[in-house]
């Protein structure tokens, strides 16, 4: 009986869900968007070279800047992976929270339907 009731409630809920779906709410003012908490964005390197440098010193300065840029690319890749991992953890937590709340509401609603049914004192099927 409970399974049939769950199926009826689920069918009714999904029938109008697409039309009645609310707009995605704006994030709370305290957290206006994804703000990495555990990740540190790398500081951009200074890639300027003194235009007065000539010859070997200029070449060494240029090579040092290329190494600094490459190091920055590596650090940026680590940062991007970190924020992706953090976002995934947040989404997983949010999904769990919503799922638990949904199941609790569904169970409470079905329990109330069963209580109402028993008030009718219908004969068992």
Q: pLDDT digits over 54-70, tens only?
A: 999 999 999 999 999 99
CA within 13 Å, CB half, 51: 0
**Which residue has better confidence, 83 or 7?**
83
pLDDT of res. 39: 92
Q: pLDDT digits over 75-107, tens only?
A: 999 999 999 999 999 999 999 999 999 999 999
Q: pLDDT digits over 14-33, tens only?
A: 555 545 556 656 655 655 56
Task: Output the pTM of the full model.
Answer: 0.58
């Amino acid at each position: 009986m409970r399974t049939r009731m769950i199926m009826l409630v689920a069918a009714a809920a999904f029938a109008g869900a697409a039309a009645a779906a609310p707009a995605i709410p704006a994030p709370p003012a305290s957290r206006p968007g994804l703000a990495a908490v555990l990740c540190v964005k790398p500081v951009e390197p200074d890639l300027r070279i003194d235009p007065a440098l000539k010859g070997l010193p200029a070449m060494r300065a240029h090579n040092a800047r290329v190494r600094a840029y490459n190091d920055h690319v590596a650090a940026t890749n680590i940062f991007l992976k970190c924020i992706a991992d953090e976002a995934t953890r947040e989404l997983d937590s949010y999904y769990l929270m919503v799922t638990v709340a949904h199941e609790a509401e569904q169970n409470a609603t079905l329990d109330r339907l069963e209580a109402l049914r028993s008030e009718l004192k219908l004969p068992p099927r």
